[in-house]
Amino acid sequence: VTLGTILRGTGKYAESIAAFEEALRLSPRNADAFKGMADTYTAMGGHDTEAVTTYTKALQLRPSDWQFYLWLGNFYLKRQNFPEAMRQYEIVTTM
């Protein structure tokens, strides 16, 4: 996860994704790896679908983990998709 974060920070996005994929291979429910991968897709620009898919997969594996709903809500908020952001935040507050 740390390697993926460093690679993202240096603009090596493909390598960053590969590092997060390896982290998930070793620990399939690792929240930090999913978050890092989604953040990398977001940093790449034009990869919103992949970012949402990453959050969705994490939610399928960890449906009771409120962090993913929060992170997905923040993602939608940054994209000014306010109805979807609110939906995610409401899930967080309910949890």
Yes or no: say if 41 and 50 are a contact pair by the CB < 8 Å rule: yes
Give the confidence band of 42 by pLDDT, cuts at 50, 70, 90. very high
CA distance 17 to 62: 20
Residue 93 in this model has a pLDDT that exceeds 90 = yes
- Quote the pTM value: 0.85
Region for 41 from its dihedrals, namely left if φ exceeds 0, alpha if ψ lies in -120 to 50, beta otherwise: alpha
pLDDT at 20: 98
Radius of gyration of the chain (CA): 13
Q: What integer is the mean pLDDT of 44-69?
A: 91
DSSP state of 12: -
pLDDT at 46: 86
